[in-house]
């Protein structure tokens, strides 16, 4: 990595890789995570009537990545709850965000400049988690490259991957969609990151681990802060996907592209012929309505 | 514990703590549990057409606490099924309750005086399970106080915590509610018990374990037998909750209290303005209808 | 086993038991499994718009038996994903079946004679899996007969037992039915096989393991190939069930039999009295409509 050497960034990366996440960065992670829980419709009502259900959701928002990784590796899903101080810190954040008098804490952390800093810190934790998830899986399965990528993904994407079941605790059930069908940017980025870290772990990338972590952190922080600041929801992966998908999954995609192209020219209503399955009829609805809905929901 | 010493109860408690649960108390546990399965709407039809699905539900009613505790501690969920004699006993109870000619067995055990005795015995097993769940978790995580409380809770509350998934086996799906949103008395009591036993395990309570178990058993037996005998569903925790909740989760609760207060004075229909989210609109319905429905369902 | 000795089949059975499944038989298993995934309504649309969700479903169709058995025995659900070559082979099959130009691969393997051979090979793998599942559980629990039968069943029935959750990944949710309520032939046969292998493992059957595997494989191959060739969906277990069920779960079944008998004579509409619960009202619908739907879905 000559560029890094020239810029003397390798030393910064090494120093960065030794930086402790607890308590400051973890705190930011908890705050932003539970902030997004509060954005979920109905979550405030649940917190009023069922503090325990609300607390469980908050814990999932903060620790689902650990829970999932432990489950995937056959360990106790509560393993991370051994760190009582982390749980108490997250509980304090949950309490302040939902029950602080005058909603003061919420207003402070949702204030845009503060939120941007917290979001940046959260992404630092996310990348560290992906990297540690891959290492964790590598310890258990030395040549299980797929396992490493999947565990790293679970560590990075966190609660999003099990959002259906997190919602179920709050009495909400949306089976028609899930994170695999409508991937948000952090989920996609976590998958990409997990694959990169796995390649690095397999020594197929000629770059040291702390440099990968450093570079990927910069990418995530810049992208996510930009997206949060501009309320943008366009994925930076969209052009790459638009290029690669038709090649790999290609000719078939065309069918739907043609259909959608016709629809955008004409009246949308007339484009839902009765002989279309309810499933494919939903496609356009998702394309139109879904993106708007995602604006509120998926910018985790 | 001077009072216990004066009454010579400590010895009784010690003797009680050494009493074996199998087979008599466990039998009572299975009978009452499967009785409540039979009360569930649709469960008799399932037992007629799908004995295997019915058997699986019965096993969950009897052993969900073990299954959940094993899952939470990263062990095999079938671990307890190694005790073939327990499973066969529960299977026999399931068979007799659902398929006994003339419904004789059901009529016997559902006869109130018998049922009260069985209920009392079930509560003895429940408290023992909570205590053993905390100890079990303590062995795995010496300082994991939160893990101990959660495992103890799972051991005490049993199938209630996963009732959504137990119902799913019978083809019933009620995502709008679950045990976390509408806690029944046994679930709340199990949580309280698990916290108390965890505090005792952490030596923060100046009282020996067998005394805690004995006293909590008396509380559970008396309360549950009284509730079953009077068909009452008022939780004995209600006054404490009414006192503590407004202090801890307080000012926010007020919003809903005000709204509900207006509603009770006026026509309920007019109190559901169209701009209320479907979620909050459900609040009152749950408060009114929900309590009635709970009467049939939640007195486990 | 004199008959086997006379026919010199025992040697064939022994040779057969040593035959490796990878890669040829496993390949057939993956092809037939993913073929059935493609038959599922909506799965092609998912593969176009969400290759990752589609890939996950394909992996569940191929490896759910391993995942479930590992979960049931408290091991990592991703344990089998350590066999990278198996996963890559299944991924290649998934890619070819869903994205092959001109749908060529699909047309080849769905061509009846080819499909019959592949189905026969799949059943060979299935029986081997059941047998190995029982042995696997036996290693963990030497006297856990119920655990052995359940793990063997999970290994044989595969994705069918968790089809509700597999569908959920594709955005489909059918809580009103599941494999326990409407068992398909392979699921029932797997249960029977798991019980037989468990009895053999417990030395309650006077027959060697490779002979049981051989005989049960012949039964499964013949039955499944016949059913696939004739598009038949009548279970060969139906007569046995019709004989045994009334004896064991008997008098009660009568109620429904009488009701249904009346219904088949008269107008079906008039047979759904308003005082019937929605659950029991569905019974007939399932008996009439359900069987037709099953024809498309359940011949796995």
Q: Give residue-wise pLDDT tens across range C215-256.
A: 999 999 999 999 999 998 888 999 999 899 889 987 444 334
B7-66 residue pLDDT tens:
678 889 989 989 999 999 999 999 999 999 999 999 999 999 999 999 999 999 999 999
| Alpha helices (H) in C73-144, listed in sequence order | 84-99, 104-110, 112-140
Contact C249 B51 (CB under 8 A): yes
CB neighbourhood size of C105 (10 A): 18
- pLDDT reading at C165 higher than 60: yes
Query: Does the distance separating the beta carbons of B46 and C181 come in below 8 Å?
Result: yes
Contact call for C150 and B81, based on CB within 8 A: yes
Which residue in this structure is represented by tokens 């019965």?
A: B58
Who has greater pLDDT, B186 or B300?
B186
The tokens for B96 are: 């007799």
Mean pLDDT over B92-103 rounds to 95
Q: Which residue has the higher pLDDT, B293 or A83?
A: A83
Using alpha carbons only, give the angle C198, C201, C207 rounded to the nearest 5 degrees: 105
Dist. CA A279–CA C162, nearest whole Å: 22
C-alpha pair distances (Å), A42 with each of A39, A49, A260, B221, B281: 9, 11, 34, 37, 11
pLDDT for the residue A4: 58
How is A208-243 classified by DSSP, letter by letter?
Answer: -HHHHHHHHHHHHHHHHHHHHHHT----TTHHHHHH
User: Strand, coil or helix: what is B244?
Assistant: helix
Q: Do B169 and C180 touch (CB under 8 A)?
A: yes
Name the pLDDT band for B70 (thresholds 50, 70, 90). Answer: very high
Interface touch B171/C183, C-beta < 8 Å = no
* Farthest CA pair distance, chain A: 63
- Whole-number Å distance between alpha carbons of B26 and B66: 13
- Cα–Cα dist A126/B5, whole Å: 56
Nearest CA-CA distance, residue C227 and chain B, Å: 23
Report whether pLDDT(C295) > 70. Answer: no
SS3 C6: helix
Q: How far is C77 from chain A (nearest CA, A)?
A: 6
Give the burial string for B157-184 (b: 16+ CB within 10 Å, else e).
Answer: bbbbbbbbebbbbbbbbebebbbbbbbb
With bands split at pLDDT 50, 70 and 90, how would you rate the model's confidence at C37? very high
Which whole-number Å values give the CA distances from B161 to A25, A38, A236, B61, C74, in the listed order? 33, 24, 41, 11, 21
Given a cut of 80, is residue C271 above it in pLDDT?
A: no
**A181 touching C, CB under 8 A?**
yes
Q: What does the pLDDT average to over C164-182?
A: 96
The chain C residue lying nearest B102, using CA atoms, is C251
CA distance A72 to A79: 13
Chains touching B (3+ CB pairs < 8 Å):
A, C
| Residues A233-266: b if buried by 16+ CB within 10 A, e if exposed | bebebeeeeeeeeeeebeebbeebeeeeeebeee
* pLDDT at res. A3: 61
- pLDDT surpasses 80 at B288: no
pLDDT for res A255: 39
Closest Cα to residue C260, out of C282, C245, C235? C282
Cross-chain Cβ contact C81/A144 below 8 Å: yes
| Spatial CA neighbour of B67 closest among B53, B82, B54, B52 | B82
Are A175 and C168 in contact (CB < 8 Å)?
Answer: yes
Instruction: Check if the beta carbon of residue A260 is closer than 8 Å to that of residue C48.
Output: no
What average pLDDT score do residues B246-270 get?
A: 48
Distance of residue C179 Cα from the nearest chain A Cα, in angstroms: 19
Q: Do the Cβ atoms of C168 and A178 come closer than 8 Å?
A: yes
Q: Are C128 and C21 in contact (CB under 8 A)?
A: yes
Q: Who has greater pLDDT, B101 or A33?
A: A33
Alpha carbon distances (Å) from A21 to A30, A87, A224: 12, 15, 19
List of residues 6+ apart from A276 with CB closer than 8 A: none
Residue B87 has pLDDT above 90, yes or no: yes
B181 touches chain A (CB under 8 A): yes
Residues in contact with C173: Cβ distance below 8 Å, sequence separation at least 6, in sequence order: A175, A176, C164, C167
Beta-carbon contacts of B251 under 8 Å, excluding residues fewer than 6 positions away, are: A101
Burial (CB count <10 Å: 0-12, 13-18, 19+), residue A88: exposed
Who contacts C101 (Cβ-Cβ below 8 Å, separation ≥6)? A251
CA distances from B48 to C103, C129, C264, C283 (A): 45, 31, 19, 11
User: How many other C-beta atoms can be found within 10 angstroms of the C-beta atom of residue C112?
Assistant: 9
CA within 13 Å, CB half, A231: 6
Q: Quick check: B82 and C142 in contact, CB under 8 A?
A: no
- Residue A82 CA to residue B146 CA, distance in Å, equals 7
Chain A residue with CA closest to B150: the answer is A78
Residues whose CB falls within 8 Å of the CB of residue A120, separated by 6 or more in sequence, listed in order: A221, A224, A225
CA nearest to C69 within chain B: B76
Find, in chain C, the residue whose alpha carbon is nearest to that of B173. Answer: C175
Mean pLDDT of chain C: 85
Q: Answer for the pair B45, B52: CB distance below 8 angstroms, yes or no.
A: no
**In C, which residues are within 8 Å of A277 by CB distance?**
41-42, 45
Q: Residues C186, C144: contact at Cβ < 8 Å?
A: no
- For residue C131, the model assigns a pLDDT of 97
Confidence of residue B280 (pLDDT cuts 50, 70, 90): very low
Percentages of chain B per state (helix, strand, coil), in multiples of 5: 75, 0, 25
A45 contact residues in B (CB cutoff 8 A): 277, 279-280, 283
Give the residue from A187, A185, A186, A207 showing the smallest Cα distance to A196: A207
C178 touches chain A (CB under 8 A): no
Chain centroid, CA B290 distance in Å: 18
Q: Whole-model pTM?
A: 0.85
Three-class DSSP category at A100: coil
Is residue C263 predicted with pLDDT exceeding 90? no
| Confidence (pLDDT) at A218 | 97
- Report the C-alpha gap between C229 and C249 in whole angstroms: 34
How close does chain C come to B299, measured CA to CA in Å?
Answer: 22
User: What is the token pair recorded at A192?
Assistant: 């990409």
| CA atoms within 13 Å, Cβ hemisphere of C33 | 32
**How close A253 gets to chain C, by Cα (Å)?**
6
What's the whole-number mean pLDDT along residues B156-183? Answer: 96
**Chain Cα centroid distance, residue A94:** 19
Q: What is the mean pLDDT of chain B?
A: 85
**Overall average pLDDT of the B230-234 stretch:** 88
Rounded distance, CA C135 to CA C141, Å? 10
- Chain A residues within an 8 Å CB radius of C52: 180, 183, 191
Q: Which DSSP symbol is given to B18?
A: T
CB–CB of A249 and C87 under 8 A?
Answer: no
Instruction: Give the pLDDT confidence score for residue A274 in this predicted structure.
Output: 36
Per-residue pLDDT at A259: 39
- Whether residue C47 is preceded by a cis peptide bond, meaning omega within 30 degrees of 0, is no
Is there a contact between B50 and C112 (Cβ–Cβ < 8 Å)? no
Residue B3 binned pLDDT confidence (cut-offs 50, 70, 90): low
Give the pLDDT of residue C4. 58
Distance of CA C18 to the CA centre of its chain: 24
* A99 contacts in chain B (CB < 8 Å): 248-250, 252
**Chain C residues with beta carbon closer than 8 angstroms to that of B52:** 180, 183, 191
Contact assessment for residue A136 and residue B146, using Cβ atoms and an 8 Å cutoff: no
The alpha carbon of residue A194 and the mean position of all alpha carbons in its chain are separated, in whole angstroms, by 12
* Main-chain phi, psi angles of A33, to 5 degrees: -60, -50
Cα B136 to the center of its chain, rounded Å: 19
- In this prediction, residue C3 carries a pLDDT of 61
**Tally of CB atoms within 10 A around C271:** 16
Rounded to the nearest angstrom, the minimum Cα separation between B57 and chain A is 21
Q: Is residue A156 a contact partner of residue A43, using CB atoms and an 8 Å limit?
A: no
Choose among C65, C91, C83: nearest CA to A145: C83
Produce one character per residue of A38-76: b if its CB has 16 or more CB atoms within 10 Å, e if not. Answer: bebebbbbbbbbbbbbbbbbbbbbbbbbbbbbbbbbbbb
Reported in sequence order, the residue ranges of chain A that DSSP labels E, i.e. its strands, are none
Ranges of residues in chain A whose predicted pLDDT is under 50: 251-300
pLDDT interval class at C10 (50, 70, 90):
confident
Question: Which pLDDT score is estimated for A2?
Answer: 58
Does A78 contact chain B (CB < 8 Å)? yes
Whether the Cβ atoms of residue A159 and residue A64 lie closer than 8 Å to each other: yes
Structure tokens at C49: 């718009």
pLDDT of residue C8: 76
**Quick check: A226 and A219 in contact, CB under 8 A?**
no
Closest by Cα among A151, B166, B79, A75 to C72: B79
**Does the structure show a pLDDT above 80 at B165?**
yes
Minimum mean pLDDT among A4-18, B177-191, B252-266, C43-57: which range? Answer: B252-266
Share of chain C above pLDDT 70, in %: 81
The DSSP call for residue A287 is: I
The pLDDT, as a whole number, for residue B52 is 95
For residues B283 and B288, what is the distance between their CA atoms, to the nearest angstrom? 9
A74, A76, A172, best to mutate vs chain B, most B CBs in 10 Å? A76
Tell me the chain B residues in contact with residue A163 when contact means C-beta distances shorter than 8 Å: none
Q: Does C171 touch chain A if contact means CB atoms closer than 8 Å?
A: yes
């Amino acid at each position: 990595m000559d560029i890094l050497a020239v810029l003397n960034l390798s030393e910064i990366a090494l120093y960065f890789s030794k930086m402790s996440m607890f308590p400051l960065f973890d705190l930011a992670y908890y705050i932003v995570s539970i902030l997004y829980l509060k954005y979920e419709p109905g979550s405030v009502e649940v917190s009023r009537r069922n503090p325990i259900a609300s607390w469980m959701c908050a814990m999932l928002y903060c620790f689902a990545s650990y829970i999932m990784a432990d489950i995937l590796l056959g360990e106790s899903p509560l393993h991370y709850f051994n760190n009582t101080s982390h749980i108490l810190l997250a509980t304090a954040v949950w309490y302040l965000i939902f029950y602080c008098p005058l909603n003061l804490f919420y207003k402070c952390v949702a204030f845009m400049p503060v939120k941007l800093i917290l979001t940046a810190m959260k992404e630092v934790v996310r990348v560290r988690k992906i990297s540690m998830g891959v290492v964790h899986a590598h310890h258990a399965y030395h040549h299980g490259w797929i396992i490493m990528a999947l565990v790293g993904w679970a560590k990075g994407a966190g609660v999003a991957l099990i959002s259906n079941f997190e919602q179920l605790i709050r009495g909400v059930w949306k089976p028609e969609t899930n994170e695999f069908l409508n991937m948000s940017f952090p989920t996609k980025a976590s998958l990409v990151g997990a694959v990169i870290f796995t390649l690095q772990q397999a020594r197929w990338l000629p770059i040291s681990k702390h440099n990968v972590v450093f570079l990927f952190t910069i990418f995530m922080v810049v992208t996510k802060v930009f997206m949060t600041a501009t309320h943008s929801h366009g994925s930076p992966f969209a052009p790459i996907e638009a290029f690669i998908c038709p090649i790999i999954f290609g000719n078939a995609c065309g069918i739907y592209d043609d259909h959608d192209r016709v629809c955008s020219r004409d009246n949308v209503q007339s484009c839902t012929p009765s002989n279309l399955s309810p499933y494919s009829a939903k496609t356009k609805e998702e394309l139109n309505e879904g993106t708007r809905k995602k604006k509120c929901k998926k910018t985790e």
